[in-house]
Structure 1
């Protein structure tokens, strides 16, 4: 395997000159760049990434921690971040946190040890204080889908409460008074905020908030099926369902179909996220749009700016969800 000394010998320059060319130093002459580049090509020499990082103090990477890379929601988030990274000549390193404090901590520490100057962290397991401590250690760290007052200028978040309120209010305005809620059983702030939005909308329209109308399960299709079956077994006069997310809504639709209940004529249904699945369900799912693409782009740009010692003053920190009206809600 060729070494940097072999490159220097073939190019007829010093090792220091080869190093300057590799690290794109402005001190490297055009003649040196040409001869060193040709020598590296002939020898099949690849500069060692760790060695370059020691010189430049950067690996040209953006570190990203997500909940679970297999979730389409995080796939959309990663794609948006990767596009910004590539526009800036960088690559992304990814860690899964699984909403677990220990796993999230290990992923963040690994990315820091990998010399990522920019970090975009989706964390639901770690405490506010621990994330603040990491942010103090890494100037280019941004938290996404979470608001921490002490580092508010480095948080990109969504108003989950308002989104769930909008969804429930939309059902109410379509004449529904007996509205069930299919809720996530994950102990995270998203769960609390979306449940609170549902309950607050009921109270705002003087409708009873009954715990019997709420079922908790995993925030996926199987969880939606489980929660919907439990609600049906209670024989409640439900005419509409608000779901924690689109995946749970999909599970609800499956159970309704299996039980001969036709949405939206018999029961209306509204989701949350506006994920890829929403427009391909039958009926097409009315939902609340979670603008994760633009949020991820903002987070990536902010992270890169902070790593350079700048701050994007025009960056939107708190995003507002919007209704997406399709075919799964009917007037009562």
Structure 2
């Protein structure tokens, strides 16, 4: 592989001259630009991005840390960040954290070492104290779907408890009192907040149910199938179900259908997120909208503004979920 010294030798110039040409220095003469460009083409030399970053103090990249890029929710998040990046002439680097502290730490360190100007972080594994330290180190770091009071001005989050409360309350208003909850088996903040919202809605409406009405599963369609199967196996009387997300709701609907239980005639169900799948399952899914596109765009713009050292108003961005009524809920 050709080196910068090889290019200098081929072009008949100094290494410093090659460096000036690569970094588009105004001190580079037209003749040196031509000879160096010709030599790089002949030798197949590609400038080292990290070396160029050391000179320019910029890589024109933004970093994004998500749970799992294969999850459509995170795909939507990444797309929104990428749109903002492209508007600003930048590219994005993506790291997967899988809600695991070691994986999140490793991915975040890689993004920082890659000299990303701004980093949008969806972290569920790392403790608050560690994320606060990262925020001190990287001025363009913004958290999404996480609220830490000490760095509230850098947090874009959703009121997950309110979202689950809305979902449960909607079923109650339709006359349902035997309402099960299909929760995520991942021990993260979102799981706890949505479970609290479900329980708070029951309590506020004078409904007492045993723990048998709560089942856990992986936050995907397979997990929804397993959780719904377990609920049916326990023979608890159910007329409504609140699911952790739309994919778990879709899996639960499949299990109900396989067992001859019609939705919503026999069991009504509400999802969470309002992803694409909510509109295309049959019947279409009543769900809680998670405005992830709007939140990700705001997080990206905030991260860029912070990285530029722009003056910002210290305001907390906690978004409110909204209920989207479709056809998976009917009166009890």
Give me the TM-score of the superposition, normalised by structure 1: 0.91
Any residues of structure 2 matched to 1:112-151 within 5 Å, and which?
Answer: 112-151=112-151
Which residue number corresponds to residue 267 of structure 1? 267
Which residue number corresponds to residue 69 of structure 1? 69
Which residue number corresponds to residue 331 of structure 1? 331
Structure 1 position 20, deviation (Å): 3.7
- Name stretches of at least 5 consecutive residues in structure 1 with no aligned partner: none
The separation in 2 between residues aligned to 1:151 and 1:31, in whole angstroms, is 49
Structure 1 position 33, deviation (Å): 9.2
**1:182 match: secondary structure:** strand
Q: In the superposition, relative to structure 1, how do residues 129 and 314 fare at CA in structure 2: closer, same or farther (>3 Å)? A: closer
Q: In the superposition, relative to structure 1, how do residues 66 and 311 fare at CA in structure 2: closer, same or farther (>3 Å)? A: farther
Which residue number corresponds to residue 280 of structure 1? 280
Any residues of structure 2 matched to 1:17-166 within 5 Å, and which?
Answer: 18-25=18-25, 27-28=26-27, 31=30, 35=34, 39=38, 42-43=41-42, 44-166=44-166
The separation in 2 between residues aligned to 1:235 and 1:42, in whole angstroms, is 72
Q: In the superposition, relative to structure 1, how do residues 28 and 210 fare at CA in structure 2: closer, same or farther (>3 Å)? A: farther
**1:120 match: secondary structure:** strand
Which residue number corresponds to residue 306 of structure 2? 306
Which range moves more in the overlay, 315-324 or 289-298? 315-324
Once the two structures are superposed, residues 156-181 of structure 1 have per-residue CA deviations (whole angstroms, 9 ceiling, x without a partner) of 11110111111111111111111111
Which residue number corresponds to residue 244 of structure 2? 244
Which residue number corresponds to residue 216 of structure 2? 216
Conservation of the 8 A alpha-carbon contact between 1:302 and 1:315:
no
**1:76 match: secondary structure:** helix
After superposition, the CA RMSD in angstroms is 2.4
The alignment status of 1:172 with 2:172, answered yes or no, reads yes
For these two proteins, the number of residue pairs brought into alignment is 331
The separation in 1 between residues aligned to 2:130 and 2:35, in whole angstroms, is 46
Once the two structures are superposed, residues 11-37 of structure 1 have per-residue CA deviations (whole angstroms, 9 ceiling, x without a partner) of 887654553443344x35794797478
- Name stretches of at least 5 consecutive residues in structure 2 with no aligned partner: none
Structure 1 position 146, deviation (Å): 0.5
The separation in 1 between residues aligned to 2:325 and 2:24, in whole angstroms, is 52
The separation in 2 between residues aligned to 1:83 and 1:28, in whole angstroms, is 35
Q: In the superposition, relative to structure 1, how do residues 316 and 31 fare at CA in structure 2: closer, same or farther (>3 Å)? A: farther
Q: In the superposition, relative to structure 1, how do residues 24 and 289 fare at CA in structure 2: closer, same or farther (>3 Å)? A: farther
Structure 1 position 237, deviation (Å): 2.5
Q: In the superposition, relative to structure 1, how do residues 40 and 161 fare at CA in structure 2: closer, same or farther (>3 Å)? A: farther
Structure 1 position 256, deviation (Å): 0.4
Which residue number corresponds to residue 255 of structure 1? 255
Conservation of the 8 A alpha-carbon contact between 2:8 and 2:36:
no
The separation in 2 between residues aligned to 1:2 and 1:271, in whole angstroms, is 56
**1:191 match: secondary structure:** helix
Which residue number corresponds to residue 234 of structure 2? 234
